[in-house]
Chain A
């Protein structure tokens, strides 16, 4: 297969896989979690008390770390950080400097957690979680004071982070690696994920600015970057939702005999790691030292 053929086959298969991934999430996992009274609330379902609470969080903790970037033809398109979650915002009206730029980009800060939990009194029953990105999305108008936010959509850009080194032609390997590492942050764009309901004019705008092929665009029916759900693993500790913790086995022969050396005199002992405990080996050495 030539690189070209591989790329188009990858695109075909990866699109199908991503579609399957979100089908599993939306049709199986989220309903099941909801049955267990674990809910990740979407903006549409927020109640007024919840909105008031989240508004306070937005102003206290989120707004100070946001840095929206206005887009206009006079400036180059900003370098979107690799794998960061962003909003492309369509605006109407003039900003404080009287400029009518029309579009802006808001990056979801990396310093904040992806998900926060609502206090018990705000959750109807069970536990309720909200994505930070949903909060930013909901209160977007408060960022662009004096302007009207017409539309906003999530998108995420993935860059080439491969390190290319030709060992034959490189004389100073250290220097070559240093050079490549700097370059790594600013690799070429290889994938663009956008919310599935993003209109085609904004899609084309992003596609052109990111210089990306049409078949490298993935329309996402749900939250872009599902790994953001991984915050839940720290917030939900209930053991019944997880695999049973695994306890390593200590071979019977070693448990029975006080001295490992006596045990080993009787027979050989085979340890099967990681199923058998590493402690046996550690003990063996510490006892041997005495």
Chain B
């Protein structure tokens, strides 16, 4: 059975969610006929997908975890599917990491502070903005990551390698 290739939408914002929905649709439109037990797992996969799509809105950085988990479910159905997921969603290179990308934004704020063309007090103001931005980054994003790290179940840990 050859799975149909996904068309990954390029609209950056909706990218993650669109592709996730793509997978679930693909699976239900063309279930792998070569395997006898597709129906047995479909409910389970469907539920899992549904849950994860909701979770995505909470933290998109768990994307890697999701794809790995997805692979795990599909392993039980068809290895060909796993290959195609791997091809369509290279875990590390496809998406910007949400936290690191925010840090890069703050790097640009800091660059404004070192811009000699700006008035001096405005440069100082950019240093202040960088400080408060970083405070919030640590309070919310880093805090969230630490929480995620603590919440990871042994199964997830195993799946993440």
Residues of A whose CB lies within 8 Å of any CB of B are 1-4, 6-7, 9-10, 13-14, 17-18, 20-21, 24-25, 28-29, 32-33, 36, 82-83, 158-162, 164, 167-168, 187-188, 190-191, 225-227, 229-230, 232-233, 236, 240-243
Interface contact B140-A161, CB-CB below 8 Å: yes
What distance in Å separates the Cβ of A226 from its nearest Cβ neighbour in chain B?
4
Which residue of B110, B139, B152 is within 8 Å of A21 (Cβ)? B110
**Complex Cα gap A164–B103 (Å):** 22
17 A-B pairs in the complex with CB atoms less than 8 angstroms apart:
A1-B61, A2-B65, A3-B145, A6-B61, A7-B149, A10-B103, A21-B113, A24-B113, A29-B123, A160-B146, A162-B141, A187-B139, A190-B142, A191-B138, A226-B130, A227-B131, A233-B121
Known: A10-B103, A14-B103, A226-B127. Contact between A3 and B152, CB under 8 A? yes
- For A28, the closest partner residue in chain B by CB is B114
Interface contact A6-B145, CB-CB below 8 Å: yes
Residues on the B chain within 8 Å of A159, using CB: 139, 143
**Complex Cα gap A32–B116 (Å):** 10
Known: A3-B152, A160-B139, A191-B142. Contact between A21 and B54, CB under 8 A? no
Against A, the Cβ 8 Å flags (1 = close, 0 = not) of B118-161 are 11111111011011101100111111111111001000000010
Residues on the A chain within 8 Å of B130, using CB: 17, 21, 226
Which residue of B65, B128, B138, B149 is within 8 Å of A230 (Cβ)? B128
**Complex Cα gap A24–B65 (Å):** 38
Residues on the B chain within 8 Å of A236, using CB: 121
What distance in Å separates the Cβ of A12 from its nearest Cβ neighbour in chain B?
10
Which residue of A14, A32, A164, A241 is within 8 Å of B134 (Cβ)? A14
Interface contact B147-A29, CB-CB below 8 Å: no
Residues on the A chain within 8 Å of B106, using CB: 17
Interface of B is mostly: helix
What distance in Å separates the Cβ of A227 from its nearest Cβ neighbour in chain B?
4
Residues on the A chain within 8 Å of B114, using CB: 24, 28
Question: Does residue B45 face the partner (Cβ distance < 8 Å to A)?
Answer: no
Residues on the B chain within 8 Å of A226, using CB: 127-128, 130-131
Question: Does residue B92 face the partner (Cβ distance < 8 Å to A)?
Answer: yes
Residues on the A chain within 8 Å of B119, using CB: 240-243
Residues on the A chain within 8 Å of B15, using CB: none
Interface contact B100-A241, CB-CB below 8 Å: no
Known: A24-B127, A29-B123. Contact between A6 and B138, CB under 8 A? no
Known: A3-B148, A10-B99. Contact between A243 and B122, CB under 8 A? yes
Interface contact A2-B160, CB-CB below 8 Å: yes
- For A243, the closest partner residue in chain B by CB is B122
Residues on the B chain within 8 Å of A241, using CB: 119-122
Which residue of B92, B118, B128, B147 is within 8 Å of A1 (Cβ)? B92
Interface contact A1-B120, CB-CB below 8 Å: no
Question: Does residue B33 face the partner (Cβ distance < 8 Å to A)?
Answer: no
Interface contact A164-B100, CB-CB below 8 Å: no
**Complex Cα gap A230–B149 (Å):** 35
- For A168, the closest partner residue in chain B by CB is B54
Interface contact A29-B124, CB-CB below 8 Å: yes
Known: A24-B127, A232-B121. Contact between A17 and B140, CB under 8 A? no
Question: Does residue B76 face the partner (Cβ distance < 8 Å to A)?
Answer: no
Interface contact A33-B124, CB-CB below 8 Å: yes
Interface contact B122-A13, CB-CB below 8 Å: no
Against A, the Cβ 8 Å flags (1 = close, 0 = not) of B85-113 are 00000001000010110010011001001
Interface contact B149-A158, CB-CB below 8 Å: no
Residues on the B chain within 8 Å of A28, using CB: 114, 116, 123
Question: Does residue B64 face the partner (Cβ distance < 8 Å to A)?
Answer: yes
Interface contact B139-A229, CB-CB below 8 Å: no
Interface contact B99-A6, CB-CB below 8 Å: yes
Residues on the A chain within 8 Å of B143, using CB: 159-162, 187-188, 190
Which residue of B110, B122, B140, B145 is within 8 Å of A7 (Cβ)? B145
**Complex Cα gap A2–B80 (Å):** 25
**Complex Cα gap A20–B107 (Å):** 9
